[in-house]
Amino acid sequence: MPTDLDIAAAATLRPLVEVAADLGVSEEHLEPWGRDVAKIDLGVLDRSARQDTSPAQHRPGEQNRAKYVVVTAITPTPLGEGKTTTSVGLAQALASTGSRAVVCLRQPSMGPTFGIKGGAAGGGYSQVVPMERLNLHLTGDFHAVTAAHNLLAAMVDNHLHQGNKLGIDVRNITWRRVLDVNDRALRTVIVGIGSRDDGLVRQTGFDITAASEVMVLLTLATSLEDLRLRLGRIVVAYTVEGKSVTADDLGAAGAMAVILRDALKPNLLQTLEGGPAIVHCGPFGNIATGTSSVIADLVGVRGSDYVITEAGFGADMGAERFFDVKCRVSGLVPDAAVLVATVRALKAHSGHWTIKPGRPLPEGLLDEDPQEVTAGLPNLRKHIEIIQRFGIRPVVAINAFPTDHDSEHDVVRALCDELGVRCAVTTHVADGGAGGRELARAVVDAAHEPSDFRFLYPLELPLAEKIEAIATEIYGADGIDVSPAAAKALKEYERLGFGNLPVVIAKTHLSISSDPTLKGAPTGWRLPVREVRAAVGAGYVYAICGDMRTMPGLPKSPNAERIDIREDGSTTGLS
């Protein structure tokens, strides 16, 4: 099969005005960025801005009439389970049967694109195009987030230099800087070195832009006004008396909102088969929501029969945050969840194989071995239970590879039959929308059954009890062990009025537990809560459980070494 880049380069794209019309977006609400990408003006969210009066109209807080489907997966492995390709393939399959479908995806960070992961436009014949634009800069939203975030960092240091009128405790500044590059050398830095005019000397560091709180709040903002309010609430530091210092206190939020004004508008692209694709925002899946934007989904439900949106990593992380954080903000009620699995990944979850990123697959992993698939089924079973805990019907999508064997697929189907869960094999990577029609039929059936969606916890629950609910009911832990520093922070956040916020658990994505070496569905363990931080602008408190890297490093042989440009300006080596 041709490479992803070759497939994307050979595609004949539809005029974007026609693609937008399929989404109920008129030309007057498109802001072109070149020939094949456009911003969608937020005025389209007004009912009067729609081109028709289809039953897909929706207002926040109403039961959505378009069917709203989230795509998640079993616990990730270095092999990649294919959530993005499945999302695109499902949207193409639904469109091929006459339904109006839109796929809403995160924008990939350029750090991992040039590192080891590569791009995130999908794969094979289930991609979003133009693939190069999507993976490299797109409309500059990541750069806007970087600039807004670093403006606030600069104003923190300028405030210290100019006399520190607010009484900021220099030892308790929480706002770092960001850059959309994998660069481990910037994880910890000293600023202000030089003359007295170069600022206050202090230790700080850089995170990758996808880890910025500005990125998350851009994802969750529902309007320009909401964005401005969220920016103002960002807590950057604390005074010696323990009072929080915000972006509004520093007078920075207004300028940040101006920088982000265009970035708030979602980006319209298209699938290889010409269907609408909205690509917007890209928060980290480890410490943030790991989803595309609320605004993208709100645009989607107004002009489609089906909105396919993706949640990062496994159901224990991305789907839980999608349900408990994003859905609280959007008011959208999910109708079904697609749970992506591969037989290769299930074999890995047997615990019998060592798989490392960028290394050849272990010899024998691709041999026909239904027993190895069976050994990995506890992980799939656990993720099914997680989705069902929220009252949502899961549909298991077996993302099939040419090296798979029917007997291995039969093992997965047998478990789904036992649990009363729909299951479908999909070959969308090789066959595009036609390869995803079995999955599309299963999703349609599931999405048209009555929904019983419910959140995991009420917001009134104390923060520690929310963390414990996720640990025990989602991860399967026996309980939580809160460090003295974390317990103190939880108490302080509740004193400051942050107690009614939802919580996010920052932990490894390689295991349902907090230990990346534990495969399958671990039991008999406790979740260690090492540290707790508040992302007040984004609107949640997050507990750090393990060693979280918010600035990745480059591998020994990064993808950047293989990417180049031809004389005609086209790209080579992008994956």
* Helix or strand (DSSP H, E) at 341: strand 336-341
Q: For residue 289, with 0-12 CB atoms within 10 Å meaning exposed, 13-18 middle and 19 or more buried, which class applies? A: buried
Is 431 domain-assigned? yes
In this prediction, residues 533-554 reach a mean pLDDT of: 91
My answer on whether 279 and 358 are in the same domain is: yes
Same domain for 482 and 441, yes or no, is no
pLDDT at 58 over 70: no
Residues 428 and 316 in one domain: yes
Judgement on whether residues 194 and 116 belong to the same structural domain of the protein: no
Of 36, 126, 42, 23, nearest to 84 by C-alpha is 126
Does 567 fall in a domain?
no
| Whether residue 388 is found in the same domain as residue 332 | yes
Q: Are residues 156 and 12 part of one domain? A: no
The DSSP 8-state label assigned to residue 41 in this structure reads: P
Q: Is the pLDDT of residue 297 over 70?
A: yes
Q: What is the CATH number of the domain that holds 61?
A: 3.40.50.300
Question: For the purposes of burial, counting CB atoms within 10 Å of the CB of 200, is it exposed (0-12), middle (13-18) or buried (19 or more)?
Answer: middle
Burial of 237 (C-beta count, 10 Å sphere; 0-12/13-18/19+): buried
Answer with the one of 447, 475, 490 that is the final residue of a domain: 447
Examine the fold and report which residue of 413, 447, 481 is the final residue of a domain before the chain moves on. Answer: 447
Q: What is the largest CA-CA distance in the chain?
A: 71
Any domain includes 556? no
Task: Supply the DSSP symbol for 557.
Answer: S
Asked if the model's pLDDT at residue 165 lies above 70, the reply is yes
Q: Give the length of the chain.
A: 575
Rounded to an integer, what distance in angstroms lies between the CA atom of residue 340 and that of residue 246?
40
β pairing state of 276-279 and 101-105 = parallel
Transcribe 252-320 into DSSP letters.
-HHHHHHHHTTTTSPEEEEETTS-EEEE-----TTTS--B--HHHHHHHHHH-SEEEEEBSS-IIIIIH
Question: Does residue 201 surpass a pLDDT of 90?
Answer: yes
Q: Are residues 194 and 60 in the same domain?
A: no
564 within domain boundaries: no
- Residue 148 CA to residue 465 CA, distance in Å, equals 34
Range of the domain at 296: 4-139+263-447
% the chain with pLDDT above 90 = 83
In a domain, 569, yes or no: no
**Closest by CA position to 14, among listed 136, 94, 129, 103:** 129
Q: Give the tokens for residue 313.
A: 């990593």
Query: Where residue 500 sits, what CATH number does that domain have?
Result: 3.10.410.10
Of 215, 217, 220, 247, residue with least CA distance to 232: 247
Give one DSSP letter per residue of 152-192, joined into a string: HHHHHHHHHHTT-TT-EEEEEE---EEESS--GGGSSEEE-
Q: Which residue, chain included where needed, has tokens 């414990």?
A: 468
Residues 37 and 132 in one domain: yes
pLDDT bin (cut points 50, 70, 90) of residue 61 is very low
Q: Looking at the predicted structure, is the pLDDT value of residue 57 above 70?
A: no
Looking at the 3D structure of the chain, how many domains does it have? Answer: 3
Instruction: Give residue-wise pLDDT tens across range 301-318.
Output: 999 999 999 998 999 999
Beta bridge partners of 180: none
Peptide bond into 266 cis (omega under 30): no
Amino acid 48: pLDDT: 42
Least confident of 10-19, 40-49, 182-191: 40-49
Q: In this structure, what is the dihedral angle of CA atoms 425, 427, 431, 437, given to the nearest 10 degrees?
A: 20
Is 268 found in the same domain as 243?
Answer: no
Is the pLDDT assigned to residue 118 strictly greater than 80? Answer: no
215-258 residue pLDDT tens: 999 999 999 999 999 999 999 999 999 999 999 999 999 999 99
Q: Are 446 and 337 in contact (CB under 8 A)?
A: no
Which tokens in the block code for residue 249?
């206190």
**Separation between Cα atoms, residue 346 and residue 341, nearest integer Å:** 7
Query: Model-level pTM greater than 0.85?
Result: yes
72, 131: one domain: yes
Considering the domain architecture, whether residues 378 and 430 belong to the same structural domain is answered as yes
Q: What percent of the chain has pLDDT over 70?
A: 97
Tell me how many helices (H) and strands (E) the chain has. 20, 26
Answer yes or no: is pLDDT of 56 > 60. no
pLDDT value of residue 53: 32
Query: Hunting for tokens 């350029």 — which residue is that?
Result: 110
Mean pLDDT of 429-454: 96
Nearest one of 272, 412, 392 to 342, comparing CA atoms: 412
Above 90 in pLDDT, residue 547? no
Q: Give the number of C-alpha atoms closer than 13 A to the C-alpha of residue 237, restricted to the C-beta side.
A: 25
In a domain? residue 513: yes
If you write DSSP's letter for every residue of 345-404 in order, what string do you get?
A: HHHHTTT-----TTSPPPTTTTS--HHHHHHTHHHHHHHHHHHHHTT--EEEEEE--TT-
Residue 162: is it exposed, middle or buried by C-beta count within 10 angstroms (0-12/13-18/19+)? Answer: exposed
Beta carbons of 506 and 514 less than 8 angstroms apart: no
Burial classification of residue 88, based on how many CB atoms lie within 10 Å of its CB (0-12 exposed, 13-18 middle, 19 or more buried):
buried
Half-sphere exposure of 26 (CA within 13 A, CB side): 11
Domain-embedded: residue 553? no
Q: Is residue 565 part of a domain?
A: no
| Claim to verify: residue 197 and residue 151 sit in the same structural domain | yes
Least confident of 76-85, 157-166, 474-483, 511-520: 76-85
Give which of 296, 301, 298 is closest to 277, Cα–Cα: 296
Mean pLDDT of the chain: 93
- Give the residue from 260, 291, 325 where a domain finishes: 260
Going by the DSSP 8-state scheme, the letter that residue 124 receives in this structure is T
What's 177's domain CATH number?
Answer: 3.30.1510.10
Q: What are the φ/ψ torsions at residue 506 (nearest 5 degrees)?
A: -90, 110
- Say if residue 434 is exposed, middle or buried (CB neighbours under 10 Å; 0-12, 13-18, 19+): middle
Question: What is the predicted pLDDT for the residue at 47?
Answer: 59
Work out the average pLDDT over 384-401. 97
Alpha-carbon distance values, 405 to 280, 412, 495 (Å): 37, 12, 57
Q: Identify the weakest region by mean pLDDT among 16-20, 350-354, 468-472, 537-541.
A: 350-354
